Chains A and B, each alone.
Chain A
Amino acid sequence: MRKFILKRLGQGIIVFMLICFFSYIIMFLIPGDPVYALYGANISPEQYQMYYKQLHLDQPLLLRFFNWFINFLRGDFGWSSRYRCSVNELIATRLPITMYIGILSLILTAFFGILFGVIASVKRGKWQDSVITVLANIGSTMPLFWIGVLGVYVFAIKLGWLPASGYTSPFIDLGLNLKQILLPVIAMAFCQVANITRLTRSNMLEVINDDFVRTARAKGITEHEVIFGHVIPNAISPVINMIGMLFRVVVAGSVAIEKIFNIPGMGQLMIVSITSKDVNPLQACIVVISTVVLIVNLLVDIIYALIDPRIRLQ
């Protein structure tokens, strides 16, 4: 088990370095001069020379990357020209908001996705299965941003039950906060539930046909025990894996959702930094989000190994 974790950790670190390198070279691949890109076009030539030195642009690329990387590891993400504050500050205020909404929707997704998937597979061919399968098929085709728009149209404009946009910290006004995040969270969970449902259902059906399930039935245990004791534990690992992967989708979703609902999270930060060519926050976003994704996936792998003893020995 320790060897397994160490191996995954090692792989994770390599991937982390690759991502850092990728996000670093973006700055130099953007058409135009990196100094102007970072500090804006209206700086004096003296300032230009100063920043040029400051960025160590006179040094070779790999060395520069190394220096930058060390700063990064120390937690210094640089300065945002657009927001006129340190990127650390930006990330510190925005990451929790995105994570808050993301994790809530992930919990909803996992719970309902697995629930519906199990129901559909156990009631295979019956009406429950048909209803769930049709809904899941429709759900997985709905663009997330469109669910958001639809939600605003129905619940905010037509019915007036929920606010159309805005974000208030839960520590200031929990009630308002919950009202505001309800639509974003549900919109984000909606299409993911469909994917998890489909995956759970197909995995369950695959396992249900396995020999050992027949053996379990031959023992005379109840159908309930067969499903919960044998089928679900064997069918669930790929689903857990998928939920780990979904974390990426949640982050991606936050870009659209935060735009629709005007939520000051990482997604919004990304769009603003791209449209204003503000590179430092973008680099930080890429690295921070990818690191979170990596950590989540590492945790998922460990859970996976805990459930399935065969993986531990590989």
Chain B
Amino acid sequence: MSDTLLDIKDLSIEYHTEFEKVYAVNGLSLKLNYGETLGLVGETGAGKTTTALGIIRLLPDGIGIVTKGSIQLDGTDMVHESEEKVRKLRGKTVSMIFQDPMTSLNPIKTVGDQIQEVLRAHDRSMSKAELSRQVDEMMEMVGIPSYRKTEYPHEFSGGMKQRIVIAMALVCEPKLILADEPTTALDVTIQAQMLGLIRNLQKKLNTAMILITHDLGVVANTCEKVAVMYAGEIVENGFAEQIFCQEKLHPYTRGLFNAIPKLDVETSRLEAIEGMVPDPTQRIEGCRFANRCRFATPACSQEPPYVEVENGHFIKCHLFSGENRSGKTIPETVSGSLTREKSVVSEKEVS
């Protein structure tokens, strides 16, 4: 058996609604090994959640459609495999922690029942005592006294609910967890607790994880690998150290870093990325970031290549392609030493 748990190749997902087509994911490729943690970073609407839903095949029925590409998860083709087979993988091989714990629990079922349901779905022969024992164990593991299993979700606080959601996701010891912004809806103080909890359990159970977030700080604390998504594609992908050392970066990732306040450098004002995310209902030729990019050149109207700038560090940008590949000037230009005029000129050229 190879080390690869998840292999996504050239995945495209579209949403077909009554009035329009939305191109949510466009030719995304991604690999993840057993036990690894990947941070999937990007703005709202970049297609992170869609990708996760594609992996676990829970895209809205008849609306979210995989139009291209393949997803191999632990040897199963998640795009074409029968529903029955995929269902058996959900919860057991891959499980998902959703963003909002307030709405992800069934309000009229006790939390114990909801955790137990996962176990029963994957092992119908399990005895009542055994089910109950495992539920108790899991609840204690996420830090909730097991006697509270007969309570209903509305009797728990937000953080507690998220603990229950985590318990549900982990109770069958899956090989992959998709954590979709698991801390966004929670208080800052609880966020750190929750991440610590997820990280601990993940280590203990040796589970791989894709952590979806828009917070680079969260990624730095938890993930070995980082993938940056922009407008439905991965623009940069590498080990956390490679990205956080900030030597070679995609202009978009650079922008993300510049938008974070730094404690050691005195900045009068945070630098936002100019412009807006492209309209997802339009197909775009070439680089999707070009209209917001300060380094855009005419070449950007062509589809940019994936360039391996370091071992395992990929950037999808023309700046790193061809003769520039080993050029030493690149990091400098990317870090923002270009003159203002030049960037204005290049914007004009693009338009």
Interface residues of A (CB under 8 A from B): 124-125, 209-212, 214-223, 225, 229-230, 233-234, 307-310, 313
A309 to B156, CA, bound (A): 13
Given A125-B62, A310-B154, the answer on whether A218 and B105 have CB atoms closer than 8 Å is no
Cβ-based interface call for B118 (8 A): yes
| Interchain CB contact under 8 A, B108 and A308 | yes
Cβ-based interface call for B76 (8 A): no
A233 to B100, CA, bound (A): 21
Residue among A210, A220, A233 making CB contact with B88, cutoff 8 Å? A220
A217's nearest neighbour on chain B, judged by CB, is B58
Residue among B58, B108, B122 making CB contact with A307, cutoff 8 Å? B108
Which residues in chain B, 48-80, are within 8 Å of chain A measured between CB atoms?
Answer: 56, 58, 60, 62
| Interchain CB contact under 8 A, A234 and B121 | no
**What are 20 A-B residue pairs whose CB atoms fall within 8 Å in the complex?**
A125-B62, A209-B60, A210-B103, A211-B98, A212-B106, A215-B96, A216-B117, A218-B95, A219-B117, A219-B121, A220-B88, A220-B89, A220-B91, A220-B92, A221-B118, A233-B109, A234-B108, A307-B108, A308-B108, A310-B107
| Interchain CB contact under 8 A, B87 and A233 | no
Which residues in chain B, 124-180, are within 8 Å of chain A measured between CB atoms?
Answer: 152, 154, 165, 168-169, 172
A229 to B118, CA, bound (A): 13
A211 to B91, CA, bound (A): 16
| Interchain CB contact under 8 A, A219 and B168 | yes
**DSSP class of A's interface residues: helix, strand, loop or mixed?**
helix
Bitwise interface map of B from 283 to 311 toward A, beta carbon under 8 Å scored 1, else 0: 00000000000000000000000000000
> Which among A214, A222, A225, A307 has the highest number of chain B CB atoms within 10 Å?
A214
CB distance from B50 to the nearest CB of A (A): 13
A312's nearest neighbour on chain B, judged by CB, is B152
Cβ-based interface call for B193 (8 A): no
A231's nearest neighbour on chain B, judged by CB, is B106
Q: Which chain A residues border B120 with CB–CB below 8 Å? A: 221
| Interchain CB contact under 8 A, A222 and B121 | yes
Cβ-based interface call for B44 (8 A): no
CB distance from B151 to the nearest CB of A (A): 9
| Interchain CB contact under 8 A, B121 and A220 | yes
A211 to B162, CA, bound (A): 13
Q: Which chain A residues border B88 with CB–CB below 8 Å? A: 220
A215 to B99, CA, bound (A): 11
Given A220-B88, A221-B117, the answer on whether A215 and B107 have CB atoms closer than 8 Å is no
CB distance from B71 to the nearest CB of A (A): 16
Q: Which chain A residues border B87 with CB–CB below 8 Å? A: 220-223
Given A225-B121, A308-B108, A309-B108, the answer on whether A219 and B103 have CB atoms closer than 8 Å is no
A229 to B168, CA, bound (A): 16
Q: Which chain B residues border A215 with CB–CB below 8 Å? A: 96, 98, 104-106, 165, 168
Q: Which chain B residues border A234 with CB–CB below 8 Å? A: 106-108
A307's nearest neighbour on chain B, judged by CB, is B108
Residue among A218, A225, A230, A307 making CB contact with B90, cutoff 8 Å? A218
| Interchain CB contact under 8 A, B104 and A212 | yes
Q: Which chain B residues border A308 with CB–CB below 8 Å? A: 107-108
Q: Which chain A residues border B165 with CB–CB below 8 Å? A: 215
| Interchain CB contact under 8 A, A212 and B103 | yes
Q: Which chain B residues border A225 with CB–CB below 8 Å? A: 117, 121
| Interchain CB contact under 8 A, A229 and B104 | no
CB distance from B19 to the nearest CB of A (A): 16
A234 to B92, CA, bound (A): 26
Bitwise interface map of B from 232 to 249 toward A, beta carbon under 8 Å scored 1, else 0: 000000000000000000
**4 additional A-B residue pairs with CB within 8 Å, beyond A212-B106, A308-B107:** A211-B103, A219-B121, A309-B107, A310-B154
CB distance from A218 to the nearest CB of B (A): 5
| Interchain CB contact under 8 A, B98 and A214 | yes
Q: Which chain A residues border B56 with CB–CB below 8 Å? A: 218
CB distance from A116 to the nearest CB of B (A): 20
Q: Which chain A residues border B92 with CB–CB below 8 Å? A: 220
Give me the 3 closest cross-chain CB pairs, A-B, nearest first.
Answer: A220-B91, A220-B90, A211-B103
